Amino acid sequence: MTAPNIVWTRIDERLLHGQIRITWGKHTEANLILVANDDAAEGPNAAFMQAGMKASAGGEYAVRFFSIQKTIDVIHKASPKQNIFVLCNNPTDVARLVEGGVPITHCNVGNMHFHEGKRQIAKTVSVDSKDLNAFERMVERGVTCTVQNTPDQKPINVLDLAVENA
């Protein structure tokens, strides 16, 4: 069994949308977008969510919707031909994937919207203590976590931003 070919992992609260397809998908040369999200895979509105996200993919990518646990359970069965773009909507889910043995080495953070109890650390990223804990858990396991909205922007370390904007 070979390691899955994970070409990119991104946190975007919006999950799969046009920017992912147009900008990040092409930049990463992915051919499969794996939306690892319990609600999108199995939630009460999963069919509706999936339909919208599949439309956003524009037919350019294979798209899969797996729960976090299913991703952990099956990612190592991926074909070597699959260039996998893992997409989550929060850092806790990515930390769960890493802790479950999914070989993620870098986590790109795009959009984490401001909500009550969160503080803004970058233009499009707001965090709370649960988010920071998840990033710390990933970093402890060797995962680089950076904020970068588009490929032409310079990546900035998430935890450095959190300290600078405390």
Contact 144, 10 (CB under 8 A): no
Q: Tokens at residue 45, please?
A: 């509105």
Beta bridge partners of 6: 84
Half-sphere exposure of 126 (CA within 13 A, CB side): 9
Secondary structure element (H or E) that encloses residue 68, with its range: helix 68-74
- Distance between CA 44 and CA 131 in Å, rounded? 25
The one catalytic residue among 17, 27, 113, 115: 17
Helices (runs of H) and strands (runs of E) counted in the chain = 8, 9
Q: Is 115 a catalytic residue?
A: no
Positions marked active-site: 17
